[in-house]
Each structure stands twice: as C-alpha cells, then as structure tokens.
Structure 1
Amino acid sequence: MQMRNLLIASSAAFFLASAAHSEPSVKLGIGRTATEAEIAGWNIDVDRTGTNLPPGKGSVGLGREVFDQQCAACHGSKGEGGVGDKLVGGQGTLATPNPVKTVGSYWPYATTLFDYIRRAMPHPSPQSLSNEEVYAVTAYVLHLNGLLPDNAALDAKTLPAIRMPNRDNFVGDPRPDVK
C-alpha cells in the first residue's frame, strides 16, 4: 500500500512539474491583455533606490497624527508593538541570541518602509492613505527609531538619501543575472 501511494504521489508531482513548465496548448478564449493604463495603476512598487516614488511630501508631525489614527491600534502608540509588529527598538540586538528585528534595527532601506506602508497598510484598508500620509507615516516611524529629527519632512528626493543603520549587513545576491 505504501509503495502504491508513493508511486501515485511521484506521478502527480511529475505531472504538476511538467505542466508548470510547458506552454498551454489550448487557448480558452477568456480574458484579455491588460492595457498600459491598467498596468500603471498596479505598478506602484518602489525599489531601494527610490525608483517610482510618487510626488508628495509628509512631515513627522503629520505622521504622528496619521499613525495615532491608523496605526497605533495594531503597532502601539509609539511603535512598541501589539497585535501588529514592533516597529522601534532592537538596535544592537541582531548579533545576540534574541535579535529584535524592527525598522530601525534590521531594515536596510527607508524606501522599503514607504513601499510597504503604501501597498499594505493600514491593515483593514490597504492603499487608502494619500502619498502625503505615506511619506508622513514613514517619517514618523523613522523618527521613532531616532533616524529623523522631530521637524523633518520626507519626499521623493530626501527619502532615498536616508542611510539605515543595518544597510551594510546584508549579503549580496551572487547570481550572475542579478545586478
């Protein structure tokens, strides 16, 4: 019985692997190619250099207000964590037996924070914040981590210029097709 089950599982795995790497032989006649405008509406990711950052500007002060309204219920009033992840602290813990991975201790690029907030937050209604609010919340979280002064503001030019404390502690991708 075990041999039969193993043979069935192996056959199924081979079939699925073969199907995943082959071109579909039948056109089903459903769907259509997305338009450039449709693709642009979903193409909102921001890379580590800041490519694709939108226009707008947000201050630490505005970020504090938006954070209190939209983020504190999950992440705590000062980013200390709760239902959601801890966002602050952890500096100096990464090489210890109990590392605390937060925005300020672990993340290598500030633009990644902006990208994540913009696409995935706030939890109950992602992508509901304006660009100004996303810049502001990003500024506030960076401020809570001691990386920006209280009077700072961020935009597409200043955000990529922030040097995160853990930036140089990641291993590069050795694959030859990755630059």
Structure 2
Amino acid sequence: MEHNMKAKKTLVAFFSRAGENYAVGNIAEGNTRIIADMIVDETGGDIFQITPETPYPEDYAQCTEVAKRELAAKARPAVKGDAAVEDYDTIFIGYPNWWGDLPMPVYTLIEKHRWQGKTVIPFCTHEGSGLSGTEHKLKTACQGATLLKGIALRGATAQNERARAKESINEWLSKL
C-alpha cells in the first residue's frame, strides 16, 4: 500500500478537540489529532484540521451539551478555512465518535465538496462505541465515493499508549 498511497494525492482531514475529554482528562492535544499525525507520517499526505469558527467549551460537560444540541438540530457550524478535496484521490476523514455520529463541523466540510470518484477512509477515536454507525453516515454524506474499511481506536490508547496506537494504525494501513 505504501507506494500506492504515496503515488496518489492523499489528504488527512480531521476534527479533534483538546481540553477536558472523557477518560483522558485535560489534554493539550486531541486524541484524533494524534492519530491523524500518525497517518500523515505513514502516507505522506497533506493534513487539514476541521476547526469550528466558534470553539467548543473546554469543559467536557458543557461541550457535550453544545454538541448534543448541534446533533439534534443537524447543525452545520461554520468552520475555519477549507481543504481542496477535489484535488485529492484519497481522503482520510477523522473524528471522535459522538453518540454514533460525526461531530457536526465534519459535515460542514463534507457538504462543501464533490466526492465522486474519491476514496474515503474513516478513522475515529472513541471510548467504547467503535465506529458504530459512522461509516454508513459517511458513505451517505460522501456520495459517489468509495469507502474503505475504517479504524476505531480508543482515545485513551491514542493519548497514553502511542506506540500501541501507531502499531494498530500501521497494521490497518498495510491492509488497505
């Protein structure tokens, strides 16, 4: 896979949140960010962080309240900048699994672009829910894309057992 991925234009687009997080406490670097960096290291892809214009609260409980309201409303919060998805062949999309769905800012990015002919590969961090329904939601949102098998890693593993996380990522990438 290594040569194949490097020959194609690869983008790693992700949403990640630092601050107070479930199971890992107050973190300086988001769990999904750690995994995104590992994927970039292996693929040589470009990286784009999906950052909402209005940041989520640092406090975990407050953040979940805002995120739950956005999910219920199917909100599309404004994000800073954009990634030229159309210029890439393969797009990894990373996110924390929030109640069996992607954080709403990820949809903001997805809905700005055409996905026809693209290869989309999901990766998520979680604390027990895995990818749950997110792969299906991504396939629906990225119409016309080919979705490859994603990976789900516990945020606590990404944060506190990085060598083990990197081993899992490399093994997964080698099978794509």
TM-score bracket for this pair, using the shorter chain length: under 0.3
Larger strand fraction of residues: 2
In terms of Rg, which structure is larger?
1
**TM-score normalised by length of structure 1:** 0.23
